[in-house]
Protein backbone atom coordinates (compact mmCIF):
# COMPACT_ATOMS: atom_id res chain seq x y z
CA UNK A 1 0.00 0.00 0.00
CA UNK A 2 1.40 3.36 -1.06
CA UNK A 3 1.44 5.92 1.78
CA UNK A 4 1.85 9.61 0.95
CA UNK A 5 2.01 12.42 3.47
CA UNK A 6 -0.30 15.29 2.60
CA UNK A 7 -1.95 18.19 4.37
CA UNK A 8 -5.57 17.23 4.99
CA UNK A 9 -6.40 19.37 8.05
CA UNK A 10 -6.06 23.12 8.61
CA UNK A 11 -4.20 22.54 11.86
CA UNK A 12 -1.44 20.76 9.98
CA UNK A 13 -1.00 23.72 7.66
CA UNK A 14 -1.07 26.16 10.56
CA UNK A 15 1.51 24.11 12.40
CA UNK A 16 3.90 24.28 9.46
CA UNK A 17 3.27 27.98 8.82
CA UNK A 18 3.94 29.11 12.38
CA UNK A 19 6.95 26.88 12.85
CA UNK A 20 5.42 24.23 15.09
CA UNK A 21 5.62 20.53 14.45
CA UNK A 22 3.24 19.52 11.71
CA UNK A 23 1.94 15.99 11.83
CA UNK A 24 1.13 14.87 8.28
CA UNK A 25 -1.95 12.76 7.86
CA UNK A 26 -1.33 9.64 5.74
CA UNK A 27 -3.72 8.78 2.96
CA UNK A 28 -4.04 5.67 0.86
CA UNK A 29 -4.59 5.07 -2.79
CA UNK A 30 -1.52 6.75 -4.27
CA UNK A 31 -0.86 10.42 -4.98
CA UNK A 32 -3.63 12.99 -4.66
CA UNK A 33 -5.26 14.33 -7.83
CA UNK A 34 -3.13 16.51 -10.09
CA UNK A 35 0.07 15.55 -8.24
CA UNK A 36 -0.93 17.46 -5.11
CA UNK A 37 1.33 19.45 -2.82
CA UNK A 38 2.90 17.15 -0.21
CA UNK A 39 5.45 17.37 2.57
CA UNK A 40 7.61 14.74 0.92
CA UNK A 41 7.41 16.29 -2.57
CA UNK A 42 8.09 20.05 -2.24
CA UNK A 43 8.73 20.33 -5.98
CA UNK A 44 4.98 19.91 -6.50
CA UNK A 45 4.20 22.99 -4.41
CA UNK A 46 4.29 26.69 -5.05
CA UNK A 47 4.81 28.40 -8.38
CA UNK A 48 7.47 25.89 -9.44
CA UNK A 49 5.10 22.98 -8.82
CA UNK A 50 2.21 24.65 -10.65
CA UNK A 51 4.23 25.96 -13.61
CA UNK A 52 7.77 24.50 -13.91
CA UNK A 53 8.35 26.47 -17.12
CA UNK A 54 8.50 29.64 -14.98
CA UNK A 55 11.73 28.44 -13.38
CA UNK A 56 13.96 30.95 -15.29
CA UNK A 57 11.66 33.84 -14.33
CA UNK A 58 11.69 32.82 -10.66
CA UNK A 59 15.47 32.62 -10.70
CA UNK A 60 15.68 36.12 -12.24
CA UNK A 61 13.31 37.49 -9.59
CA UNK A 62 15.40 36.09 -6.75
CA UNK A 63 18.59 37.34 -8.40
CA UNK A 64 16.98 40.78 -8.62
CA UNK A 65 16.01 40.67 -4.94
CA UNK A 66 19.56 39.69 -3.99
CA UNK A 67 21.14 42.37 -6.19
CA UNK A 68 18.92 45.23 -5.02
CA UNK A 69 19.31 44.24 -1.39
CA UNK A 70 23.11 44.24 -1.63
CA UNK A 71 23.29 47.33 -3.82
CA UNK A 72 20.61 49.43 -2.10
CA UNK A 73 21.69 48.70 1.46
CA UNK A 74 25.34 49.02 0.47
CA UNK A 75 24.63 52.51 -0.85
CA UNK A 76 22.70 53.37 2.31
CA UNK A 77 25.66 52.27 4.46
CA UNK A 78 28.05 54.22 2.23
CA UNK A 79 25.90 57.35 2.51
CA UNK A 80 25.80 57.12 6.31
CA UNK A 81 29.52 56.47 6.52
CA UNK A 82 30.63 59.30 4.22
CA UNK A 83 28.05 62.06 4.81
CA UNK A 84 28.22 64.24 7.90
CA UNK A 85 24.49 65.00 7.82
CA UNK A 86 23.69 61.29 8.28
CA UNK A 87 26.16 60.63 11.09
CA UNK A 88 23.57 61.21 13.82
CA UNK A 89 23.78 58.64 16.64
CA UNK A 90 20.37 57.14 16.03
CA UNK A 91 21.45 56.23 12.50
CA UNK A 92 23.63 53.48 13.97
CA UNK A 93 20.40 51.53 14.31
CA UNK A 94 19.50 52.41 10.72
CA UNK A 95 22.86 51.01 9.62
CA UNK A 96 22.14 47.90 11.68
CA UNK A 97 18.82 47.49 9.89
CA UNK A 98 20.63 47.69 6.55
CA UNK A 99 23.07 44.98 7.65
CA UNK A 100 20.18 42.81 8.90
CA UNK A 101 18.40 43.22 5.54
CA UNK A 102 21.55 42.15 3.71
CA UNK A 103 21.82 39.12 5.97
CA UNK A 104 18.18 38.18 5.29
CA UNK A 105 18.76 38.43 1.55
CA UNK A 106 21.88 36.26 1.77
CA UNK A 107 20.01 33.68 3.85
CA UNK A 108 16.98 33.41 1.56
CA UNK A 109 17.94 34.30 -2.02
CA UNK A 110 20.93 31.96 -2.66
CA UNK A 111 19.10 28.99 -1.12
CA UNK A 112 16.01 29.69 -3.24
CA UNK A 113 18.07 30.08 -6.40
CA UNK A 114 19.98 26.86 -5.70
CA UNK A 115 16.76 24.92 -5.07
CA UNK A 116 15.16 26.28 -8.24
CA UNK A 117 18.22 25.46 -10.36
CA UNK A 118 18.56 21.93 -9.01
CA UNK A 119 14.86 21.24 -8.54
CA UNK A 120 15.65 19.82 -5.11
CA UNK A 121 14.84 21.06 -1.59
CA UNK A 122 17.53 22.30 0.77
CA UNK A 123 19.78 19.85 2.55
CA UNK A 124 19.44 19.25 6.27
CA UNK A 125 22.60 21.20 7.04
CA UNK A 126 21.57 24.31 5.13
CA UNK A 127 18.07 24.02 6.58
CA UNK A 128 19.57 24.25 10.10
CA UNK A 129 21.62 27.31 9.12
CA UNK A 130 18.56 28.94 7.61
CA UNK A 131 16.40 28.10 10.64
CA UNK A 132 18.98 29.87 12.80
CA UNK A 133 19.70 32.91 10.63
CA UNK A 134 16.27 33.62 9.14
CA UNK A 135 14.24 34.26 12.33
CA UNK A 136 17.33 35.68 14.05
CA UNK A 137 17.94 38.28 11.34
CA UNK A 138 14.27 39.24 11.28
CA UNK A 139 14.26 39.66 15.06
CA UNK A 140 17.43 41.73 14.76
CA UNK A 141 15.89 44.02 12.15
CA UNK A 142 12.88 44.53 14.42
CA UNK A 143 15.17 45.26 17.38
CA UNK A 144 17.15 47.86 15.46
CA UNK A 145 13.95 49.47 14.21
CA UNK A 146 12.80 49.73 17.84
CA UNK A 147 16.11 51.37 18.80
CA UNK A 148 15.85 53.78 15.87
CA UNK A 149 12.38 54.93 16.85
CA UNK A 150 13.38 55.26 20.50
CA UNK A 151 16.18 57.60 19.44
CA UNK A 152 13.73 59.62 17.33
CA UNK A 153 11.38 59.72 20.32
CA UNK A 154 14.10 61.00 22.66
CA UNK A 155 15.27 63.58 20.11
CA UNK A 156 11.81 65.04 19.46
CA UNK A 157 10.25 64.77 22.92
CA UNK A 158 13.35 65.44 25.07
CA UNK A 159 15.75 67.39 22.83
CA UNK A 160 17.65 69.07 25.69
CA UNK A 161 18.71 65.76 27.27
CA UNK A 162 19.17 63.82 24.01
CA UNK A 163 22.96 64.11 23.82
CA UNK A 164 23.40 63.08 27.46
CA UNK A 165 20.91 60.19 27.25
CA UNK A 166 21.61 58.68 23.84
CA UNK A 167 25.35 58.12 24.09
CA UNK A 168 27.52 56.07 21.78
CA UNK A 169 28.30 53.63 24.58
CA UNK A 170 24.63 53.02 25.37
CA UNK A 171 23.86 52.52 21.70
CA UNK A 172 26.68 49.95 21.45
CA UNK A 173 25.37 48.09 24.51
CA UNK A 174 21.82 48.16 23.11
CA UNK A 175 22.96 46.79 19.75
CA UNK A 176 24.94 43.95 21.36
CA UNK A 177 21.95 43.04 23.52
CA UNK A 178 19.74 43.11 20.40
CA UNK A 179 22.01 40.60 18.67
CA UNK A 180 21.97 38.27 21.68
CA UNK A 181 18.21 38.46 22.23
CA UNK A 182 17.48 38.04 18.50
CA UNK A 183 19.64 35.00 17.82
CA UNK A 184 19.43 33.19 21.17
CA UNK A 185 15.97 31.54 20.68
CA UNK A 186 16.70 30.07 17.21
CA UNK A 187 20.19 29.06 18.35
CA UNK A 188 18.74 27.11 21.30
CA UNK A 189 16.17 25.44 19.05
CA UNK A 190 18.68 24.36 16.40
CA UNK A 191 21.00 23.10 19.16
CA UNK A 192 18.17 21.07 20.68
CA UNK A 193 17.35 19.67 17.26
CA UNK A 194 20.97 18.69 16.63
CA UNK A 195 21.46 17.05 20.04
CA UNK A 196 18.10 15.43 20.70
CA UNK A 197 17.17 14.70 17.11
CA UNK A 198 14.00 15.33 15.16
CA UNK A 199 11.90 13.32 17.60
CA UNK A 200 11.85 16.15 20.13
CA UNK A 201 12.47 19.27 18.06
CA UNK A 202 11.48 19.13 14.41
CA UNK A 203 12.66 21.80 12.04
CA UNK A 204 9.68 23.24 10.23
CA UNK A 205 10.56 22.18 6.70
CA UNK A 206 8.40 24.05 4.17
CA UNK A 207 6.61 22.53 1.22
CA UNK A 208 7.92 24.99 -1.38
CA UNK A 209 11.39 25.35 -2.82
CA UNK A 210 11.71 29.05 -1.97
CA UNK A 211 10.06 29.13 1.49
CA UNK A 212 12.71 29.04 4.25
CA UNK A 213 13.06 26.52 7.06
CA UNK A 214 11.87 27.76 10.43
CA UNK A 215 12.00 26.94 14.12
CA UNK A 216 9.23 25.66 16.36
CA UNK A 217 8.51 24.83 19.96
CA UNK A 218 8.80 27.34 22.81
CA UNK A 219 11.63 29.18 21.07
CA UNK A 220 9.27 30.18 18.29
CA UNK A 221 6.79 31.50 20.84
CA UNK A 222 9.52 33.45 22.63
CA UNK A 223 10.63 35.10 19.37
CA UNK A 224 7.04 35.99 18.55
CA UNK A 225 6.45 37.56 21.97
CA UNK A 226 9.69 39.57 21.69
CA UNK A 227 8.68 40.85 18.24
CA UNK A 228 5.21 41.83 19.46
CA UNK A 229 6.69 43.74 22.42
CA UNK A 230 9.16 45.54 20.18
CA UNK A 231 6.44 46.46 17.71
CA UNK A 232 4.45 47.83 20.66
CA UNK A 233 7.41 50.00 21.69
CA UNK A 234 7.75 51.25 18.10
CA UNK A 235 4.06 52.11 17.96
CA UNK A 236 4.28 53.99 21.27
CA UNK A 237 7.31 55.98 20.07
CA UNK A 238 5.68 56.79 16.73
CA UNK A 239 2.49 58.06 18.36
CA UNK A 240 4.39 60.14 20.93
CA UNK A 241 6.71 61.58 18.30
CA UNK A 242 3.87 62.70 16.04
CA UNK A 243 1.87 64.08 18.97
CA UNK A 244 4.79 65.96 20.49
CA UNK A 245 5.92 67.25 17.10
CA UNK A 246 2.63 69.00 16.53
CA UNK A 247 2.53 70.38 20.08
CA UNK A 248 6.12 71.69 19.94
CA UNK A 249 5.52 73.30 16.57
CA UNK A 250 2.58 75.28 17.99
CA UNK A 251 4.58 76.29 21.07
CA UNK A 252 7.53 77.50 19.03
CA UNK A 253 5.24 79.52 16.75
CA UNK A 254 3.61 81.23 19.76
CA UNK A 255 6.74 81.95 21.82
CA UNK A 256 9.63 82.55 19.42
CA UNK A 257 10.09 85.90 17.59
CA UNK A 258 9.32 85.90 13.89
CA UNK A 259 12.96 86.03 12.67
CA UNK A 260 14.10 83.23 14.96
CA UNK A 261 10.98 81.23 14.10
CA UNK A 262 12.04 80.91 10.47
CA UNK A 263 15.37 79.36 11.43
CA UNK A 264 13.85 77.00 14.00
CA UNK A 265 11.05 76.12 11.62
CA UNK A 266 13.54 75.07 8.94
CA UNK A 267 15.50 72.95 11.43
CA UNK A 268 12.26 71.42 12.63
CA UNK A 269 11.22 70.53 9.08
CA UNK A 270 14.52 68.72 8.56
CA UNK A 271 14.01 66.62 11.68
CA UNK A 272 10.38 65.87 10.85
CA UNK A 273 11.36 64.84 7.32
CA UNK A 274 13.61 62.22 8.92
CA UNK A 275 10.75 61.06 11.13
CA UNK A 276 8.32 60.83 8.22
CA UNK A 277 10.91 58.93 6.17
CA UNK A 278 11.27 56.34 8.92
CA UNK A 279 7.48 56.20 9.20
CA UNK A 280 7.17 55.50 5.48
CA UNK A 281 9.68 52.65 5.73
CA UNK A 282 7.71 51.13 8.63
CA UNK A 283 4.51 51.42 6.59
CA UNK A 284 6.03 49.82 3.49
CA UNK A 285 7.52 46.96 5.51
CA UNK A 286 4.22 46.40 7.30
CA UNK A 287 2.34 46.21 3.99
CA UNK A 288 4.65 43.45 2.75
CA UNK A 289 3.86 41.40 5.86
CA UNK A 290 0.07 41.82 5.78
CA UNK A 291 -0.62 39.08 3.17
CA UNK A 292 1.55 36.58 5.08
CA UNK A 293 -0.19 37.43 8.35
CA UNK A 294 -3.60 37.15 6.68
CA UNK A 295 -2.80 33.66 5.38
CA UNK A 296 -1.51 32.66 8.80
CA UNK A 297 -4.71 33.86 10.46
CA UNK A 298 -6.89 31.92 8.02
CA UNK A 299 -4.78 28.80 8.46
CA UNK A 300 -5.10 29.06 12.23
CA UNK A 301 -8.86 29.65 12.12
CA UNK A 302 -9.36 26.66 9.85
CA UNK A 303 -10.84 28.68 6.98
CA UNK A 304 -7.89 27.84 4.74
CA UNK A 305 -6.03 24.61 4.00
CA UNK A 306 -2.49 24.58 2.62
CA UNK A 307 -3.13 22.99 -0.77
CA UNK A 308 -1.73 23.56 -4.24
CA UNK A 309 -3.39 26.95 -4.81
CA UNK A 310 -2.60 28.21 -1.32
CA UNK A 311 1.04 27.23 -1.67
CA UNK A 312 1.26 29.30 -4.88
CA UNK A 313 -0.16 32.41 -3.19
CA UNK A 314 2.03 31.82 -0.16
CA UNK A 315 5.13 31.79 -2.36
CA UNK A 316 4.00 34.91 -4.24
CA UNK A 317 3.43 36.81 -1.01
CA UNK A 318 6.73 35.56 0.38
CA UNK A 319 8.56 37.06 -2.60
CA UNK A 320 6.64 40.31 -2.09
CA UNK A 321 7.72 40.21 1.54
CA UNK A 322 11.36 39.93 0.48
CA UNK A 323 11.16 43.39 -1.07
CA UNK A 324 11.39 44.66 2.52
CA UNK A 325 15.11 43.82 2.37
CA UNK A 326 15.68 46.80 0.04
CA UNK A 327 12.58 49.00 0.41
CA UNK A 328 14.31 51.19 3.02
CA UNK A 329 17.01 52.17 0.55
CA UNK A 330 14.41 52.89 -2.15
CA UNK A 331 12.52 55.23 0.22
CA UNK A 332 15.76 57.05 1.09
CA UNK A 333 16.62 57.37 -2.60
CA UNK A 334 13.34 59.24 -3.20
CA UNK A 335 13.47 61.31 -0.02
CA UNK A 336 17.09 62.45 0.25
CA UNK A 337 19.49 64.14 -2.14
CA UNK A 338 22.26 63.07 0.24
CA UNK A 339 21.54 59.43 -0.52
CA UNK A 340 21.28 60.01 -4.26
CA UNK A 341 24.58 61.92 -4.23
CA UNK A 342 26.30 59.06 -2.39
CA UNK A 343 24.75 56.63 -4.87
CA UNK A 344 26.12 58.57 -7.85
CA UNK A 345 29.57 58.68 -6.25
CA UNK A 346 29.47 54.94 -5.67
CA UNK A 347 28.45 54.28 -9.28
CA UNK A 348 31.33 56.45 -10.52
CA UNK A 349 33.81 54.56 -8.35
CA UNK A 350 32.51 51.23 -9.64
CA UNK A 351 32.88 52.43 -13.24
CA UNK A 352 36.41 53.65 -12.54
CA UNK A 353 37.30 50.27 -11.02
CA UNK A 354 35.88 48.44 -14.05
CA UNK A 355 37.82 50.71 -16.43
CA UNK A 356 41.04 50.13 -14.50
CA UNK A 357 40.54 46.38 -14.63
CA UNK A 358 39.90 46.51 -18.38
CA UNK A 359 43.08 48.52 -19.03
CA UNK A 360 45.12 46.15 -16.87
| 6 secondary structure, DSSP code | E
For 298-339, what is the HEC assignment? HHHHCCCCCCHHHHHHHHHHHHHHCCHHHHHHHHHHHHCHHH
What is the extent of the structural domain holding 311? 4-359
Three-state DSSP at 4 gives strand
In the chain, DSSP assigns E strands to: 4-6, 25-27
Per-residue confidence (pLDDT) for residue 33, from 0 to 100: 37
Confidence of residue 207 (pLDDT cuts 50, 70, 90): low
pTM of the entire predicted model:
0.78
Per-residue confidence (pLDDT) for residue 7, from 0 to 100: 31
Per-residue confidence (pLDDT) for residue 20, from 0 to 100: 40
Share of the chain above pLDDT 90, in %: 14
Does 26 score more than 50 pLDDT?
no
Per-residue confidence (pLDDT) for residue 177, from 0 to 100: 94
Answer with the residue of higher pLDDT: 160 or 110. 110
- Confirm if 269 and 252 have CB atoms less than 8 A apart: no
User: For position 69, which CATH number holds?
Assistant: 1.20.1070.10
Three-state DSSP at 216 gives coil
Alpha-carbon distance values, 140 to 93, 119, 251 (Å): 10, 31, 37
Q: Please give the tally of structural domains in the chain.
A: 1
| 21 secondary structure, DSSP code | P
Confidence of residue 51 (pLDDT cuts 50, 70, 90): confident
Per-residue confidence (pLDDT) for residue 358, from 0 to 100: 74
Amino acid sequence: MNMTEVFTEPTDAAGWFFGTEATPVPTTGGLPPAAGCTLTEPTRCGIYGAAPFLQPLLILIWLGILFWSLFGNGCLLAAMGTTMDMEERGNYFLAGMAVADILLALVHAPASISSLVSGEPMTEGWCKIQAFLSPGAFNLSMSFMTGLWYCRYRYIVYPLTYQATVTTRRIAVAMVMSVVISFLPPAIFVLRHSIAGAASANLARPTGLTIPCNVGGPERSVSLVVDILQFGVCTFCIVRVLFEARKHRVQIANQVPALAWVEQDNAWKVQMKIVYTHLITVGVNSLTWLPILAIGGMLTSGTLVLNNATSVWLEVFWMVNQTSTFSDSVVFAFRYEIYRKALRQLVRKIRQLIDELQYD
